[in-house]
Amino acid sequence: MRVGVIVHPPWVTDANGQIGGVEASLVQRIAEDVGARSVEWVRAPESTLLGSLKQRQLDVVVGGLTADLPWAKEVAFTRPFAEREGKQHVLAVSRGENAWLVRIEQVLQAQRAAIAAEVDGAAP
């Protein structure tokens, strides 16, 4: 599974080359759910990653993305899975990949309590 990551603590962290954070944990749960052999983390600026997602070169992009980003016309966002500081947080996938989007949203729904606890634990 190829995942674009934007370092944006606490959602995504990069410590000594190790990706972590709230959304990295979600990606690991998604990867387990779909039986992915591994997760390949791709680090780049937001515009580069979302452009690659639009071209279907990535499976998902994470990094503190919010539902109000202008990219909503170019890529698909999951339903909000967390709210922090008045912002609704989402993951991004390619448009037209409805089955993939539904699968991710099922994992997010199943992990709702764990996500809330992790977000609350990451609060400054």
Domain assignment of residue 124, yes or no = no
The boundaries of the domain holding residue 114 are 2-118
Domain assignment of residue 17, yes or no = yes
Q: What percent of the chain has pLDDT over 70?
A: 98
CB 59 within 8 A of CB 5: no
**How many domains would you assign to the chain?**
1
At residue 35, the pLDDT reads 95
Domain assignment of residue 50, yes or no = yes
DSSP string of 107-122, one letter each residue: HHHHTHHHHHHHHHHH
Q: pTM for this structure?
A: 0.92
Per-residue b or e along 11-21, where b marks 16 or more CB atoms closer than 10 Å to that residue's CB: bbbbeeeebeb
Over residues 1-14, the mean pLDDT reads 96
* E strand intervals along the chain: 2-5, 13-15, 18-20, 40-43, 60-62, 76-77, 82-84, 87-89, 92-93
Dihedral, 93, 97, 99, 104 alpha carbons, nearest 10: 0
Residues 86-123: pLDDT tens digits? 999 999 999 988 899 999 999 999 988 888 888 777 65
Domain assignment of residue 52, yes or no = yes
Q: What percent of the chain has pLDDT over 90?
A: 80
Domain assignment of residue 63, yes or no = yes
Domain assignment of residue 71, yes or no = yes
Over residues 61-88, the mean pLDDT reads 93
Listed residue (49, 42, 52, 36) closest to 19, CA to CA: 42
Q: In this structure, what CATH number is given to the domain that contains residue 63? A: 3.40.190.10
Domain assignment of residue 123, yes or no = no
Domain assignment of residue 15, yes or no = yes
At residue 116, the pLDDT reads 80
